[in-house]
Amino acid sequence: MTTLKTDVYARQICMPEIGEAGQAILARSSVLVIGAGGLGSPVLFNLAGAGVGRIAIIDRDVVAASNLNRQFLYTMADIGKCKAAVAAERLKAYHPDLQVEWFAEVLTMDRARALIPAFDLVVCAVDNLKTRRLVNQVCFELHKRLIDGGILGFSGYAVALEPGKTPCLDCLFGLSDTPRTPKVANSIGATASVIGSIEATLVILLLLGLPNPLAGEILEYHGRTLTFDRIRVEQSAHCPICQSE
Amino acid sequence: MTVKFFSQFIDATGCREFELIAPESIEKLIEILITQFGEPMRQVLLSPAGDTIHEDAFLLVNGRHLRALNGFATQLVESDIVSVLQITEAG
Ligand SMILES: [Zn+2]
């Protein structure tokens, strides 16, 4: 590791959980981040900052003014630009050694099955249940670890799913094909930052081989009372996703 | 038994936990919760028609989703913990 790189990561290499060996693991790691919005912003900055070697970003949207209260990857000058491209450029400026790929597209089942095998871990930072359901199904098919989070207003959740060890998102949320009423998702940047930072923490812990602190649990965050709570979740007896692996 | 509230259900009830003698089913529990916490609870817990759980809410009985149990007819016993959550799906 060069002196400059050592300097960049000095404050975490001296952590007993990381050290030179852990930093090398992070540098060799690859993460697919689905969604570069309110959650994706802190997830991506934190993973790039930690020295994860390869990151891919999928987001089909362009930057809108209404994103800028919480999506800190972007500035006013980015309005109308492709989020995935701008995010990749910003991360590259932040850490030039980062290998970053971007895809401005809707994630389909076929695309997910083609992309996901190339990564150590997947982060879901999306704004709808339909995409979560798709990502959950493919990750469990391919035995790929999945970190998911969601927010609304002052509240949010995070989960760390490991096929073969934990229940899947379907068990947690009872996901179904039933169409949902479209609605404007409200939230503040601070909530997105809390949940996105927790998702990034989970990624780093799992990449380092440290125990999953949320195995089989949902972490619930309630910002109005600044409280966290955990709920143990059991695998559904007939779950079509995680019982058919 | 214990009912635990999360996210907007904390806001709707002003509390995080509610202890009660276990009613026979989830359907009865929902009636009790609406009687206890009124219209704000009905609005976030039930669909507008009142015949299903609201599309933005979900219930876990001892960590198992209601869909994987017996829906409204799910039987309850004194040792049960029912978690009442909001789907916080934004990103
Ligand atoms: Zn499952």
Q: Is B54 on the interface with A (CB under 8 A)?
A: no
Q: Decide: B9 and B84 in contact? Cβ < 8 Å.
A: yes
**Hey, which bits of B1-91 come out as E strands?**
2-5, 17-19, 57-61, 64-65, 81-86
Contact residues, chain B, for A239 at CB < 8 Å: 68
Q: Is residue A237, in this structure, part of any structural domain at all?
A: no
CA angle A172, A178, A184 (to 5 degrees): 85
Contact B63 A237 (CB under 8 A): no
Q: Is residue A175, in this structure, part of any structural domain at all?
A: yes
User: Which residue of chain A is at minimal alpha-carbon distance from B82?
Assistant: A231
Q: What is the CATH number of the domain that holds A225?
A: 3.40.50.720
A22: left (phi over 0), alpha (psi -120 to 50) or beta: alpha
Which one of A11-20, A178-187, A235-244 scores highest in mean pLDDT? A11-20
Q: Is residue A151, in this structure, part of any structural domain at all?
A: yes
Contact A155 B6 (CB under 8 A): yes
Q: Is residue A240, in this structure, part of any structural domain at all?
A: no
User: Which residue of chain A is at minimal alpha-carbon distance from B89?
Assistant: A150
Q: Decide: B9 and B37 in contact? Cβ < 8 Å.
A: no
Q: Is B6 on the interface with A (CB under 8 A)?
A: yes
Q: Name the CA dihedral angle for A74, A59, B57, A200, rounded to a multiple of 10 degrees.
A: -70
Q: Is residue A32, in this structure, part of any structural domain at all?
A: yes
* Ligand 1 centroid distance, CA of A174 (Å): 9
Please give the model's pTM, rounded to 2 decimal places: 0.95
Q: B18-46: per-residue pLDDT in tens?
A: 999 999 999 999 999 999 999 999 999 99
Residue A55 CB neighbours (<10 A):
25
Residue A126 CB neighbours (<10 A):
27
Q: Is residue A244, in this structure, part of any structural domain at all?
A: no
Report the C-alpha gap between A33 and A52 in whole angstroms.
Answer: 12
Residue among A28, A91, A23 at smallest CA distance from A57: A91
- pLDDT at site A72: 97
* Ligand 1 centroid distance, CA of A171 (Å): 4
Domains of chain B and CATH, by start: 2-86 (3.10.20.30)
Q: Is B52 on the interface with A (CB under 8 A)?
A: no
Q: A28-52: per-residue pLDDT in tens?
A: 999 999 999 999 999 999 999 999 9
Q: Which amino acid is at A130?
A: K
Contact residues, chain A, for B55 at CB < 8 Å: 178, 180-181
Q: Name the CA dihedral angle for A57, A181, A129, A69, rounded to a multiple of 10 degrees.
A: 40
- pLDDT at site A1: 56
Partner residue opposite B64 with nearest CB, options A38, A178, A234? A234
Q: Is residue A245, in this structure, part of any structural domain at all?
A: no
**What's chain A's average pLDDT?**
94
Give the number of domains in chain A. Answer: 1
**What's chain B's average pLDDT?**
96
pLDDT category, A53, cuts 50, 70, 90? very high
* Ligand 1 centroid distance, CA of A61 (Å): 29
Tokens (6 digits) for A173: 């949320």
Cα distance from A137 to chain B (closest Cα, Å)?
Answer: 17
- pLDDT at site A213: 98
Question: Could you list the residue range(s) of the whole structural domain that residue A28 is in?
Answer: 3-232
